[in-house]
Amino acid sequence: MKIFLDTAELSEIRRAADAGLIDGITTNPSLVAKVADGDVTGMYREICEAVDGPVSLEVVAVDRETMVSEGRKLAAIHENAVVKVPLTEDGLKACRDLVGEGHKVNVTLCFSVSQALLAAKAGATFVSPFVGRLDDISGEGMQLIGQIRQVYDNYGFDTEILAASLRHPMHVVECMLIGADCCTLPPKVLWQLSKHTLTDKGLHAFLKDWDEAGTAI
């Protein structure tokens, strides 16, 4: 399963890329707004250069024509750029247009299996179902991932399921068991995956024993 980092913070991206732990990046307008300093195109280029893999950059238009023109600009920033469009009627049309021009497209804000079906029919490279936001309204976010997996497998769609809005390590474990193609994680959740209290306790005991023995490597 591919792991993407869900952030526009370059320091976090470099930290994870340096560890060789991430396969790409996803951003959204809210994440970018937190760190933008005016030169968004320059920032997008730096993000794309920091990782060896797809970087989702989202359009902010809501009509097909402007989405396509923004999408072309985003795709031209770097070969790693993937154009992210919302799962609306215009977004699906823009997806079809951009894919037809040879661009990769991530259809985002997916909350139902029927929406995921249309994203695949529109030729999306990725579909982003939002698990946490469904859970937030007492929905079954993880069930959606499983249902999309089943539908895509039933009909041989090659759109990759990019599980998004993941909030904790168990979300990631469940995604792996269900067979999501990719997970996008906030940096905090990525590093939480590495933590285990028995690892810390065991390491502490090993080093204490070693020090007491007074040996050296």
List 108, 115, 125, 159, residue binding ligand E4P (CB under 6 A): 108
132 binds ligand E4P (CB under 6 A): yes
List 6, 12, 70, 160, residue binding ligand E4P (CB under 6 A): 6
199: left (phi over 0), alpha (psi -120 to 50) or beta: alpha
Class of residue 40 by CB neighbours under 10 A (exposed 0-12, middle 13-18, buried 19+): middle
128 binds ligand E4P (CB under 6 A): yes
28 binds ligand E4P (CB under 6 A): yes
Q: Which residues contact 15 (CB under 8 A, 6 or more apart)?
A: 187
List 15, 72, 133, 168, residue binding ligand E4P (CB under 6 A): 133
Q: What letter would DSSP give residue 23?
A: S
2 is catalytic: no
Taking the complex as a whole, the smallest distance from the CB of residue 164 to ligand E4P amounts, in Å, to 3
Q: Which residues contact 160 (CB under 8 A, 6 or more apart)?
A: 2, 125, 126, 127, 181, 182
184 binds ligand E4P (CB under 6 A): yes
Interacting residues with ligand E4P (CB under 6 A): 6, 26, 28, 108, 128, 130, 132-133, 164-165, 184
